[in-house]
Structure 1
Amino acid sequence: MKALAAYVRIVDRFNRRIGRFAMYLIFAMMGVLLWSSISKFAGSPALWTLEMAQFIMVGYYILGGPYSMQLGDHVRMDLLYSGWSHRRKSAVDAITVLFLIFYLFILLYGGVSSTTYALEFGERAHSVWRPYMWPVKLVATTGILLMLMQALAELFRDVLYLRGINVDHPHEAGL
């Protein structure tokens, strides 16, 4: 049980740092889009800006996901859930997170396969700019792995709570 609690704390701390970094990617995307507007106004639009903004958005969204899950800010059907006791919530969450873990394993398998293909064959986007695809695929695959690690941490947190061991979320513990 101590190993599970340590895993939860380590993954929470790591995903919190990554998530806090990912929050600032919105400013990088705003800078790229601002440059796009300025270059269009100047009469020579940059061809790379739209795709680069999309790539940054992938990082923002996918790397911020585990942190969002950690904070409980993800979408949840709250029709009955909010009225349940903490113990019942943990029991239901421990079951439902198994579906997410299964889904994330399948996504991770596809992500690794797609990233490997992009690296081996030098895959490029079908656009005028033609950027290599492996960087964005690597970021997406890394984000899926981090989400899987966080889902496992949530499962372990619920199991520990049901066994009488409370492992606080980082935002509750002041980390």
Structure 2
Amino acid sequence: MQGLMYRYINLIDAMNYRVGRIMMYGIFVMMGILLWSSISKTFFVPSLWTLEVAQFAMVAYYMLGGPYSIQMGSNVRMDLLYGEWSDHRKAQVDAMTVLFLIVYLGFLLWGGWESLMYSFSYGGERSSSVWRPYLWPIKSIMVIGIFLMLLQAVSEFFKDILRIKGHDVGAKL
């Protein structure tokens, strides 16, 4: 069972690490879109699409970068008591709290999937803006991001279980 956990951890961590490193450059995509928006509004005819595309890029950046953030331990944590605890105690508390995250992400994934299916079912749901882009591409990215976060949360749970049993899976970043 522990061998299976290690393989799962290695596979999911490697995949989310690569996706996260690629998504780090998404900030430059957003900057380029917003720069074009500023230039076009100042010197040319304003583009209708720039604000919405920047919002979609931000959603993709956030959702696909989330698993990497969880993996790196850069999520927000209240450190009132946590910093003074032993590694074993931290693993116990983290294993319990990550279960809440897994349940939350499960509901979020279910809702995201339902919303994506709704988007497909009516000939393509569209935004209510003047530009009216289809919403299924960004909803697909959201579902993929939530799914990757769920996989990473399970990986973190397995790491905590192994830490509780005394195995060395690396220090929590």
- TM-score range, shorter-chain basis? over 0.9
2:53 counterpart residue number: 52
| Percent pairwise identity | 56
Query: What CA distance in whole angstroms lies between the structure 2 residues aligned with 1:4 and 1:116?
Result: 32
2:112 counterpart residue number: 111
TM-score (norm 2): 0.96
Aligned-pair CA distance for 1:166: 1.8
Superposed CA RMSD in Å reads 1.3
1:145 aligns with 2:144: no
Aligned-pair CA distance for 1:42: 1.6
Alignment of 1:15-94 (within 5 A): 15-94=16-95
1:10 aligns with 2:11: yes
Q: Which amino acid is 1:125 matched to?
A: S
Aligned-pair CA distance for 1:35: 0.6
Unaligned runs of 5+ in 1: none
3-state SS, counterpart of residue 123 of structure 1: coil
3-state SS, counterpart of residue 120 of structure 2: helix
Query: What CA distance in whole angstroms lies between the structure 2 residues aligned with 1:71 and 1:8?
Result: 13
Query: What CA distance in whole angstroms lies between the structure 1 residues aligned with 2:157 and 2:54?
Result: 34
Query: What CA distance in whole angstroms lies between the structure 2 residues aligned with 1:126 and 1:28?
Result: 24
Deviating 4+ runs (over 4 angstroms): none
Aligned-pair CA distance for 1:86: 0.6
Query: What CA distance in whole angstroms lies between the structure 1 residues aligned with 2:82 and 2:166?
Result: 21
What is the total number of aligned residue pairs between the two structures? 171
What do the CA deviations read for 1:2-28 (whole angstroms, capped 9, x no partner)? 001110111111000011111101101
Aligned-pair CA distance for 1:120: 2.1
Aligned-pair CA distance for 1:43: 3.6
What do the CA deviations read for 1:144-171 (whole angstroms, capped 9, x no partner)? 00100000000000001111222237x9
2:138 counterpart residue number: 136
Q: Which amino acid is 2:29 matched to?
A: A
Unaligned runs of 5+ in 2: none
3-state SS, counterpart of residue 82 of structure 1: helix
What do the CA deviations read for 1:56-104 (whole angstroms, capped 9, x no partner)? 0001111111111111110001000001111100010000111111100
Q: 1:125 aligns with which of 124, 127, 131?
A: 127
Query: What CA distance in whole angstroms lies between the structure 1 residues aligned with 2:137 and 2:15?
Result: 21
